């Protein structure tokens, strides 16, 4: 009867973030995790970390003067820019871009699956 010993060694984690930011977008931060990595868009950007778009909404301050007061009052008005109006918002060609206040979403069209930025066809055979 043959006997042998298996030694369990600790796997060495490779920091994917050290090469090309882990494949994350230039406007994202790559965080090394045990056996993997995460991408997260930086402040002022939105997306999945691989695709990051600048948040294109602005706050403007308008000043109103009241005749019965020398005090100035400020009112902030939120203006939204429709990211979907240019290049489908960066969504895949088989995805629908939906504008929401301060951002947008991408969803694959019927018959496709994915995260909206990458969509692949679903094949079914009858």
Residue 40 lies in a domain: yes
Residue 35 lies in a domain: yes
Residue 101 lies in a domain: no
Rounded to two decimals, the pTM is 0.41
**Which CATH number fits the domain that encloses residue 33?**
2.10.25.10
The domain of 42 spans: 13-54
Residue 27 lies in a domain: yes
| Residue 9, phi-psi category: left (phi > 0), alpha (psi -120 to 50), beta (remainder) | beta
What is the total count of domains within the chain? Answer: 1
Class of residue 12 by CB neighbours under 10 A (exposed 0-12, middle 13-18, buried 19+): exposed
pLDDT tens, 51-75? 887 654 444 444 444 455 555 555 5
Q: In the chain, pLDDT over 70 holds for what percent of residues?
A: 68
Asked if residue 63 lies in contact with residue 76, where contact means CB atoms within 8 angstroms, the answer is no
pLDDT tens, 1-34? 444 444 455 678 889 899 999 899 888 899 998 8
Residue 50 lies in a domain: yes
Give the pLDDT score at 125: 61
**Token pair in block for residue 125:** 């055979």
Residue 82 lies in a domain: no
Residue 117 lies in a domain: no
């Amino acid at each position: 009867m043959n006997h042998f010993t298996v030694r369990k060694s600790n796997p060495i984690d490779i920091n994917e973030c050290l090469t090309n930011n882990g494949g994350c977008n230039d406007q994202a931060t790559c965080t090394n995790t045990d056996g993997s990595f995460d991408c997260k868009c930086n402040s002022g950007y939105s997306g999945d970390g691989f695709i990051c778009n600048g948040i294109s909404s602005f706050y403007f301050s308008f000043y109103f003067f009241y005749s019965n007061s020398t005090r100035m009052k400020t009112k902030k008005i939120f203006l939204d820019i429709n990211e979907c109006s240019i290049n489908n918002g960066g969504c895949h060609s088989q995805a629908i871009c939906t504008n929401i206040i301060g951002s947008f979403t991408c969803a694959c069209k019927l018959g496709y699956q994915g995260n909206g930025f990458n969509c692949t066809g679903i094949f079914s055979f009858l």
